[in-house]
Structure 1
Amino acid sequence: MGYLIQILLALFISVIGGLYLLGAFRRRRPGEPPLDKGPFPWLGHVLEFRRDTAKFLQRMKLKHGDIFTVQLGGFYFTFITDPFSFGSVVKEARSKLDFTKFAEQLVARVFGYHHVEDEHKVLQASSTKHLMGDGLVVMTQAMMKNLQNLMLHSVGSGDDKGWIESELFSYSYNIVFRAGYLALFGNESPKDAGNLEKATEIDRQHSDELFLEFRKYDQIFPNLAYGVLGPSEKMEAERLKRLFWNMLSVQKMRSRDNISGWVQDQQQHRSEKGMQEFMQDRFMFLLLWASQGNTGPAAFWLLLYLMKHPDAMKAVKNEVEKILRETGQEVKPDGPLIDLTRDMLLKTPILDSAVEETLRLTAAPVLTRAVLQEMTINMASGQQYSIREGDRVAIFPYTAVHIDPAVHPDPHTFRYDRFLTPEGSKKTDFYKDGKKLKYYTMPWGAGSTMCPGRFFATNELKQFVFLMLSYFEFELKNPHEEIPSIDTRRWGFGSMQPTKDVQFRYRLRF
């Protein structure tokens, strides 16, 4: 899930410990936030931050209050933990707080990709054009077609009538990643394959091979980002990058059908700027990682929470069946496959609430800005703090609002209707200490860096769950198994992943 720059911002704060172990040391000046260098000044708080970002920031808040500065490697980060004061960061002009320059530098270091002029503006404009509004209609249909191919290609064939056992995280990530990849990067041409049936079979096989390699990369990515890969892992990382540069090369993309306008715009802009093809190939991999690395894990959590909460499952399933009836569609063995449109997905307040609740519990981006000139942070309390040029300002919404019991009572419990009013519409009024909050969840970021791909990502999630509920019976193999904990190594990367997978089984309903 996610939009390139926003995910890279989350990535930036997660990699600083590995990329910068030398840095300036300074004393706190009057008017600055409390400065905590930690017990080991040379490393600062890098090791503790890496082990568990959420736990570390909660400890710092208890020690210093709503604003504090910590040394992480070679930079000083000022964290703001008061949600009423978030506007001082997310609304600040880019001339003071920048969110692209250091992300571009990081991409060059981690991915070997060097940006072109006006890259952020082109990416923003293309995302708005193709992943929102009318463009989202086209992308929703593309996602639907590819989900049908991956999930329902055997419907009516007499196959897959018995229970199939699988691992829920692997299954969810696999299906959503592959369908999203095909929707964005295109399909095998029936002309090249011989016919449409053969082309869709190649799509299934090719996307599965791509996912298996992507998961290898995904599993070593935290260490790659931190810069702590061992020799064998370094070799594997290089092998995987070269493999993806080849599989997603501009040359190979020319033979594919149905490439999204979003991807085509990126390639065309770089080509017009004179970028060499090998660098364009690297950017294609970067787009894949940024666009498809989060939605699959989010789909896992959503299905798991529904299976662990029968009341939520019943409510969402009833809503799905209601929408099908209203659109005159029916799931039956010999009937046409159901088709979910963008307009249908706008009429799912219960599913929307379940998605938002899932993201509240499992999405943990870090919103970061580079301080371009000395400035003042105005807190909601009326206090003012001086921030130095060259430092960083950051917000971690997960601990600041997502799991704050003053904002969301019983915050670690999944409540599918938490974001519904008593009348059944979307709830947007949340309070802390009797005062209404503007930023009550921030899984997509906020302000100028708010993810414009959030509507496409949400539709991906909803389409997958809609089809699962419509066509399949599914259940946990062990209904009493506890929900796995979050892998703390991945704080800041977006959607969190579980420390272990969960066994489940599924079968076609007819």
Structure 2
Amino acid sequence: MWTEVFQQSHRVSLRLAAHQVMFESGYLTLFGKELGEDRRQAREAAQKALVLNALENFKEFDKIFPALVAGLPIHVFKSGYSARENLAKTMHAENLCKRENMSDLISMRMILNDSLSTFNDLSKARTHVALLWASQANTLPATFWSLFYLIRSPDAMKHARREVQGILEASGLTVDPGNPTLTLTREQLDNMPVMGKKTRSPTATGLQPPAVRTSDSVIKEAMRLSSASMNVRVAKEDFLLHLDNQEAYRIRKDDVIALYPPMLHFDPEIYEDPYRSVTVGSQQGELVAIEGDSSVSLGLSAAGWSLPEAPLESELKE
């Protein structure tokens, strides 16, 4: 589908292109294709229409998700409820069984749903909708913002392009518009620090680094510059909250505490020139780290306090 996106017009919305490309790849990776060996134009057109329709329903459902998290019933939102049901209809077991190259995750979920759950067919399909949402809600805005800041930074673009070309050359791969499929291993993808190599959080290892590496990758920089997360916690008991500046606050049971990580993300004592994207790399792929305050153990906190660093839903604003 990505070729059609860029062939529609000489100018195309970056947001539209990013969403269509990433949604198609994620959707087909999870749920497979119906085409098989039959690649007639009509069948391919039907497959593209299915994915585009699923994307529109996904967007409509995604709009109401914060309200659902807040506890409002889905039936209050007519368009959102209809969008979820439309997605679920395409994910009935009888429809998924016709698809090829379906992921092991979906196949296993189908087996478990049939053997362990008491759900009816529609409820089983709705569980697949939830998984689709989980796989796309953060991926789409993260991709858009990563591309946005990459395009705005010629230096970052240069290093990212060099990194991708190096991986392709080392793998003996060439880009062929007629056959755009490229196969890379997980190890090769992990060896791309400029684009977004995953590193362990200091809190996961218990280590306190002497300085904060603030420009790990294109993706992390995009998260830092665009995330708008707020972590809300409810105290389970009375306690004294000690801060690094020697101040302390007496917290009572059931008090609500709101933490706002972007205050760190735009702190000039941690990130030099915090409103500018600083993702750069050397020819050896070693990233330039800005030396931050050694008392800060986690300079980037786009996702709250869990180990994964993917921003929570609605934290990346478009």
Shared fold, TM over 0.5: yes
Amino acid at match of 2:308: C
CA RMSD of aligned residues (A): 3.6
RCO (CA 8 Å, sep 6+): is it higher in 1 or 2?
Answer: 1
Q: Which residue of 1 aligns with 2:270?
A: 407
d(CA) in 1 for partners of 2:246, 2:100: 57
Is residue 372–residue 389 contact of structure 1 (8 Å, CA) maintained in 2? yes
Q: Which residue of 1 aligns with 2:214?
A: none
Amino acid at match of 1:445: G
d(CA) in 2 for partners of 1:259, 1:328: 28
Distance 1:239 1:333, change over 3 A: closer
**Deviation (angstroms), 1:381:** 4.0
Question: Secondary structure of 2:241's match?
Answer: strand
Is residue 181–residue 288 contact of structure 1 (8 Å, CA) maintained in 2? yes
**Deviation (angstroms), 1:227:** 8.1
- Indicate whether 1:295 and 2:139 are aligned: yes
Q: Which residue of 1 aligns with 2:315?
A: 494
**Deviation (angstroms), 1:299:** 1.6
**Deviation (angstroms), 1:211:** 0.6
Distance 1:392 1:273, change over 3 A: farther
Is residue 57–residue 84 contact of structure 2 (8 Å, CA) maintained in 1? no
Question: Secondary structure of 2:12's match?
Answer: strand
**Deviation (angstroms), 1:442:** 1.8
**Deviation (angstroms), 1:317:** 1.5
- The alignment's TM-score, normalised by the length of structure 1, stands at 0.50
Percent identity reads: 24
Question: Secondary structure of 1:377's match?
Answer: strand
Is residue 430–residue 440 contact of structure 1 (8 Å, CA) maintained in 2? no
**Deviation (angstroms), 1:396:** 2.3
- Structure ranking higher in strand proportion: 1
Q: Map 1:320-339; keep pairs closer than 5 Å.
A: 320-332=164-176, 337-339=181-183
* Count of residues in Structure 1 that have an aligned counterpart in Structure 2: 295
Distance 1:226 1:369, change over 3 A: closer
**Deviation (angstroms), 1:176:** 0.4
Which consecutive residues of structure 2, in runs of 5 or more, have no partner in the other structure? 197-216
More divergent stretch after superposition (236-245 vs 194-203)? 194-203
- Indicate whether 1:431 and 2:278 are aligned: no
Q: Map 1:108-257; keep pairs closer than 5 Å.
A: 150-151=1-2, 160=7, 164-188=10-34, 190=36, 195-196=38-39, 201-219=45-63, 221=65, 234-257=77-100
d(CA) in 2 for partners of 1:286, 1:249: 14
Amino acid at match of 2:103: S
Is residue 245–residue 281 contact of structure 1 (8 Å, CA) maintained in 2? yes
Distance 1:265 1:338, change over 3 A: closer
Amino acid at match of 1:179: S
Question: Secondary structure of 1:340's match?
Answer: coil
d(CA) in 2 for partners of 1:195, 1:381: 66
Q: Which residue of 2 aligns with 1:99?
A: none
Which consecutive residues of structure 1, in runs of 5 or more, have no partner in the other structure? 1-149, 458-490, 498-510
What do residues 393-447 of structure 1 show as CA deviations (whole Å, max 9, x unaligned)? 4432122x11111111111111222xx5896424677523xx242211122433x
Q: 1:451 aligns with which of 299, 308, 312?
A: 308
d(CA) in 2 for partners of 1:407, 1:169: 30
